[in-house]
Amino acid sequence: MGLFDTHAHLYDKAFDRDREEVIHHICKTLDYVVIPSEDLVTSEKAVALAESHPSLYAAVGIHPQVTKDATEEALAAIAALARTHDKVKAVGEIGLDYYYLYTDKETQKYWFARQIELAKELDLPILIHDRDAHGDTLSILKAHQGGNLRGILHCFSGSLETAKELMKLGFYISFAGPVVFPKSLKLKEVAKEIPMDRLLIETDSPYLTPPPFRGKRNDPSNVRFVAEEIARLKGVSAEEIAEQTKRNAMEVYGIGK
């Protein structure tokens, strides 16, 4: 299968012992992986990894959980990475996280909007983190819609109605390991209804490991289990899901253009 993992944190410390071995394996078994960032330091790490392997690409940005520490200087340095490195294909992951609230909501919303405008300036898609913040995420995206705004809702956890609103704005919907969990019945129903041309798959490695490896470290090779589950839900082959989601990912990330 020609698989594309649209979201994997390969710089995470969970990979410190065997990162090169993991990357060597996934570069043999997957076509592409995008490495999203959380701050300036991880943006630099993501770019370095992307430039060391042909199958890897990077996204740069400030994660909502750490926006309390964000500065204009850090954002300028992140923007410079995007401008000077061709393997940077998105701004992300950015967005809102109201589950942990490590950063207050207003600060999160400010930096989400700020990075949306940066992405439009750079003509790059955005990679969105939305946890328990579906309403505010949609409101901010609608306030900034138009022009070249585009991107991905990573590890989607919302309703079908929310997904439809996002797709109207031109966004892709990405599913990770939770869609494979036996108890994720509502999420499975949403995945079943997402049109093939708006569908993406990911692992969010090293987190959210799908069955049959639940409880162990996740890695991009497990994206095939996401493809297989969505194929089962839609009544198509896993190969069809793999190929279509790869085409979609290459389109939104501008790979191969």
Alpha-carbon distance of 214 to 145, in angstroms, equals 38
Residue 237: the pLDDT is 98
Residue 152, strand partner residues: 127, 172
Q: What is the value of pTM for the model shown?
A: 0.97
Residue ranges of the domains in the chain?
Answer: 4-233+241-253
Residue 71: the pLDDT is 98
Residue 182: the pLDDT is 96
Regions in the chain scoring below 70 on pLDDT: none
User: Which one-letter DSSP state was computed for residue 200?
Assistant: E
Residue 112: the pLDDT is 99
Residue 256: the pLDDT is 86
Residue 146: the pLDDT is 86
Alpha-carbon distance of 242 to 211, in angstroms, equals 18
Structure tokens at 20: 């090169």
Q: Can you list the alpha helix ranges (DSSP code H) found in the chain?
A: 19-29, 40-52, 72-84, 105-122, 134-143, 160-168, 185-193, 223-234, 238-253
Alpha-carbon distance of 236 to 255, in angstroms, equals 26
Alpha-carbon distance of 144 to 238, in angstroms, equals 36
Residue 19: the pLDDT is 97
Structure tokens at 66: 């750490």
Residue 76: the pLDDT is 98
Residue 177: the pLDDT is 98
Alpha-carbon distance of 115 to 24, in angstroms, equals 32
Q: How far is CA 28 from CA 14, 31, 99, in A?
A: 21, 8, 36
DSSP element (H, E) containing 129: strand 126-131
Backbone φ and ψ for 134, nearest 5 degrees, come out as -60, -45
What one-letter code names the amino acid at 82?
A
Which CATH number describes the domain made up of 4-233+241-253?
3.20.20.140
Alpha-carbon distance of 222 to 127, in angstroms, equals 20
Contacts 24+ apart (CB under 8 A), 26-31: 26/55, 26/219, 26/220, 26/221, 27/53, 27/54, 27/55, 27/56, 29/3, 29/221, 30/3, 30/4, 30/5, 30/55, 30/220, 30/221, 30/223, 31/2, 31/3, 31/4, 31/55, 31/246
